[in-house]
Structure 1
Amino acid sequence: MRRFVWAHAGHDAWATALEHVLAQLRAQMAMQPAHRWPLGWVYLTDHHAGHAAELLRRLSAALPQVTDWVGGVALAIGAGDTEYFDAPGLADLEPSRYRVFNGVAPLPAARGPDGFVAQTALVHADPSTPELPELIQELAERTLGHYVFGGLVASRAGSLQIAHARRAGQVGQAPSVELLEGGLSGVAFAPDVGIVARVTQGVRAVTPLRRVTAAQGHRVDALDGRPALDVVLEDLGLPPHDLGAIVARLRGLLVGWVAPAPQRPQATAATPGRVPLRLGEDVLVRHLVGLDPAQRAVVVAEPLPVGAGWTLCERHVQAARADLLRIGAEIREALAGEGEEPADPVGRIAGAIYVSCNGRGGPHFGAANAEWQLLRQALGDVPAIGFFAAGEIAHHRLYGYTGVLTVFVADEDGSG
């Protein structure tokens, strides 16, 4: 796998933006005439959703060597160090090393009829799909790595996805790329496609780590053996009878929780929960949606199991910036390797896909484009495209308020 060719443009007229993108792609491809580019990503904003079908038709007709397309329509997208309209990228990846899937042609549960085995997969999903967390987990189980990445594709135009595949042997004919709605789609990758991935959180903990000791569905009744609402008010220093102050404070907070694990430290009455919780990849962030003063309970947007770790957290600009820089440094370190002469990590990156939460971009990082500018600072000047999602996918879970960064590693021998 060689470095991706990629392009991005923004213009009120979609046809003008497309021409700018095609000019950039053609210039890069002309410099590498011997390479093939069968797999293409394309993300665009819903500002031009009404023209998406025609845009895709023209894009595929202009690039007939691209046999397979994946992507979607989102509220906002990113490329390079900019957040805006249109961002295609092309991979020089042999068709035997990936498979496009959708609801009509799902990813096989095991080795496919042509011998393909999936190690991981990029997933685009409709947020209205029933039992979506279970479907994401089931899809992850169809991969050797039990790892998928991506996000929920949602916009003012609905959930529009792209997942078109045409096998080799038909190069020279432009595929008819159509928009899909509903379910899951994406592209799976074989074990020899090098991938390094990280999840970055956009929140910081504001209360100590507690343990859910009683819960019924979405209602958490007890933390550390005490009424949950009492513990929350105590941790936040809120007066127990000032409902206005309580609601005002909780309105800006989220629940960070981690699945039960025997090795996690237990918070007890003797040790009042002052256990630091690093908001890493095992923490899932969900909305706090209500209170039950009569039962002294709190209500969360997702059912929490007894034994789960619990903390309240808030979105925080500096925490988000620091964590994005951290995962960039970790990926660069992993690619540099060890030894007296470590490799150039930027030179080893073929391309990157970044999926961020709709609630993170722009103002959350301090200014327009700030998140993608920080991503370039963290990762280097590499081909990077992606979109803002209504929920992020990593491992086998559905996240919120996170960024999922996936880097494709260039083949050492330069082969496709």
Structure 2
Amino acid sequence: MRHFSHASASHADWRQAVELLLARLGNDRGKSVPKDSRRLAFVYATDPMAGRLEQVLEELGRRRHDIDWVGAIAHGVYGVDAEFREQPALAAMVCELPNDSFSVFGGRNRLEMVAPTGGVHAAIVHADPATPDLNELLGDLLRHVPSGDVVGGVVGGDTEPALQLAGDVISGGVSGVALGPQARTLSRLTQGCSPLAGEHIVSSCSAQYIQTLDGRPALDVLLDDLDVPAEARSSRDGEEILRALPSERLARGLMIGLAPGGSTPRGIGFGDFRVRNVIGIDPTNRLLAVAATPEPGERAVFCTRDQKAARADLTRICTELREEVESESLRILGAHYVSCVARGAHLFGAPGAELDLIAHNLGKLPLVGFLANAEIAGDRIYGYTGILTLFVEAGENGR
């Protein structure tokens, strides 16, 4: 069985944070790596560490030159049973993987130049929020990952630039680790949404405005879905309409999920839907403004987020992953988790609640992750999303 270990540390002095992190990772430096293996480590640092990231990487590399380091600065990091946000903190997971099963890319080392033996089966990526045409860049990257299994997040905290680790400290573009078929992963995405009614089709739209759904004025469709009283539905008074909305039901906001027309109907969870905020109404022209650029023919569903829906959907993806692991007699080696900065304690009610749910459903695992500005799955950029990736290998049973 290949060995994974994880650790986290928080200290105002970056040197002490590194010292604590390495001590908690364990003294496997002296242990020879099996001839068929190499060590990869994901390491994430909170924003207060940004000014010392180069020194952190230099010290990690000096002390653990047997490891390839990859990671980034983030608003928050997931460590051992803990979620760190505002305090200076480091979190890492060391992965023992087959030789030639991974390669770190970023900066001058483009993915297609350093692809592992057997090609790229999956990739875990970190993206700079200031990167122009990020969607196009992800689409280009996806051409080198035939499975489409690209996951990760938009990194960085309040300090600019958004620093990444990919052998060196870099900024700009996309970096990460490309995984070959020998380093198998399983991933699932949770959006933690609760639908307010059934699906619709975007009939007409312009820029960020949805004019009609199912051939009807978009605002009228929304008010029907929310069971707003009839007298308010026909009103042209924006204040009257807003007062009539079910405030308790929409306590965490009103969103709309958008998906390509003709795609698989939404089942459990939100699958391919991009969930975005509804940001305004036009009571005169009966249209909606959304934080997206919808296309005619797209499928749409109004939804909201709350703690109950978020917990249920995170439990769902854990259950799906566990069932896949057990059905194939796999063993879980470790986990990587990316969650939106607007989730975490803000949505789940307590710091580390997502980690507790994952541990409850999958058992105690080496795990590392970060709180992202936006989440990446395939060539799409999501918001308010969690992406859980498991590293697995063949085994007699799932755990």
Q: Which residue of 2 aligns with 1:97?
A: 101
Partners of 2:6 and 2:80 within 8 A in 1: no
1:294, 1:14 → 2: CA distance?
Answer: 57
Q: Which residue of 1 aligns with 2:363?
A: 380
From the superposition, tell whether residues 229 and 336 of structure 1 become closer, same or farther in structure 2 (CA, over 3 Å): same
The AA in structure 1 aligned to 2:238 is L
Equivalent runs, 1:30-41 vs 2, <5 Å? 32-35=31-34, 37-41=38-42
CA shift for structure 1 position 321: 0.7
Q: Which residue of 1 aligns with 2:165?
A: 162
From the superposition, tell whether residues 360 and 263 of structure 1 become closer, same or farther in structure 2 (CA, over 3 Å): closer
From the superposition, tell whether residues 219 and 5 of structure 1 become closer, same or farther in structure 2 (CA, over 3 Å): same
Say which of 333, 340, 355 aligns to 2:338: 355
1:163, 1:5 → 2: CA distance?
Answer: 20
Partners of 2:211 and 2:286 within 8 A in 1: yes
Q: Which residue of 2 aligns with 1:153?
A: 155
From the superposition, tell whether residues 108 and 203 of structure 1 become closer, same or farther in structure 2 (CA, over 3 Å): same
Say which of 171, 190, 205 aligns to 2:180: 190
The AA in structure 2 aligned to 1:133 is N
Q: Which consecutive residues of structure 1, in runs of 5 or more, have no partner in the other structure?
A: 165-177, 265-275
From the superposition, tell whether residues 287 and 17 of structure 1 become closer, same or farther in structure 2 (CA, over 3 Å): same
1:78-118 alpha-carbon deviations (Å, 9 max, x no partner): 02321122111222224411121113221118x95x85511
CA shift for structure 1 position 235: 1.9
From the superposition, tell whether residues 377 and 353 of structure 1 become closer, same or farther in structure 2 (CA, over 3 Å): same
- Indicate the SS of the match to 1:24: helix
1:101-140 alpha-carbon deviations (Å, 9 max, x no partner): 113221118x95x855111111100122222122222212
1:144, 1:314 → 2: CA distance?
Answer: 34
Partners of 2:125 and 2:177 within 8 A in 1: yes
Q: Which moved more, 1:396-405 or 1:383-392?
A: 396-405
Q: Which residue of 2 aligns with 1:54?
A: 55
RMSD: 2.4
1:57, 1:412 → 2: CA distance?
Answer: 37
Answering whether residue 239 of structure 2 is matched by residue 244 of structure 1, we say: yes
Answering whether residue 82 of structure 2 is matched by residue 108 of structure 1, we say: no
The AA in structure 2 aligned to 1:162 is L
1:262, 1:322 → 2: CA distance?
Answer: 24
Say which of 117, 121, 135 aligns to 1:133: 135
Superposed structure 1 runs of 4+ greater than 6 Å apart: none
Partners of 1:79 and 1:384 within 8 A in 2: yes
2:259, 2:383 → 1: CA distance?
Answer: 13
From the superposition, tell whether residues 157 and 411 of structure 1 become closer, same or farther in structure 2 (CA, over 3 Å): farther
1:322-357 alpha-carbon deviations (Å, 9 max, x no partner): 11111112111111126xxxx4x6xx1111110001
Tell me the matched-pair count.
378
Q: Which residue of 2 aligns with 1:175?
A: none
1:40, 1:304 → 2: CA distance?
Answer: 39
Partners of 1:3 and 1:349 within 8 A in 2: no
CA shift for structure 1 position 242: 4.1
Q: Which moved more, 1:150-159 or 1:134-143?
A: 134-143
Partners of 2:123 and 2:151 within 8 A in 1: yes
Answering whether residue 329 of structure 2 is matched by residue 328 of structure 1, we say: no
Partners of 2:149 and 2:378 within 8 A in 1: yes
- Indicate the SS of the match to 2:319: helix
Instruction: Select the structure that is richer in strand.
Output: 2
2:2, 2:148 → 1: CA distance?
Answer: 25
CA shift for structure 1 position 263: 6.3
CA shift for structure 1 position 197: 0.8
Q: Which consecutive residues of structure 2, in runs of 5 or more, have no partner in the other structure?
A: none
CA shift for structure 1 position 153: 0.3
The AA in structure 1 aligned to 2:124 is L
* Identity value in percent: 38
Partners of 2:107 and 2:170 within 8 A in 1: no
- Indicate the SS of the match to 2:10: coil
Partners of 1:79 and 1:372 within 8 A in 2: no
Partners of 1:5 and 1:89 within 8 A in 2: yes
- Indicate the SS of the match to 2:334: strand
- Indicate the SS of the match to 1:281: coil
